[in-house]
Amino acid sequence: MTSTTVADPSSLLDLVGQELGSSAPMSISQAEVDTFADLTRDHQWIHVDVERAQAGPFGSTIVHGFFILAFVPHVLADILAVDSFSMGVNYGLDRVRFVRPLPPGEEVVGRAVLTDAKRLEGSSGVQATARVTLEFARDAQTCCVADVVFRYYD
């Protein structure tokens, strides 16, 4: 695991184009997938029917794409620390791709590159975009790529 720490939101302006670091390995269990299915009412068999999924196209159940995406802010917080700010918010996503399915229990590692940062008009805040890539820990193949937009205010 490697990370970047900056003093304040304005410090992000100097990091555009730089790799910010990598997260600790993490995994999502089948029980968590089942809970996510209950919460989102998405019980498609490729996510929750272990027996049927073994004979399916992926050889096992797979984690919901939106569940994987929900981990992106956590991964980014693991990689980037801003010491002094009054508020941080997720502003949105510019691009998301689910490149390879993630079986429950498989470890992934997140990596982030700061692709953009600019001052917000009329405030002391900074809006930044990071490309967060989730890779399989075993072979570094890409699982998911998301361009996440976030804001920090002084």
**Predicted pLDDT of residue 66:** 96
Domains, in order of start, for the chain:
4-153 (3.10.129.10)
- pLDDT tens per residue across span 73-129: 899 999 999 999 999 999 999 999 999 999 999 999 999 999 999 999 988 899 999
- The average confidence (pLDDT) of the chain is 95
CA dihedral 40, 45, 48, 54 (to 10 degrees): -150
Q: Model-level pTM?
A: 0.91
Q: What values do phi and psi take at 102, rounded to 5? A: -110, 110
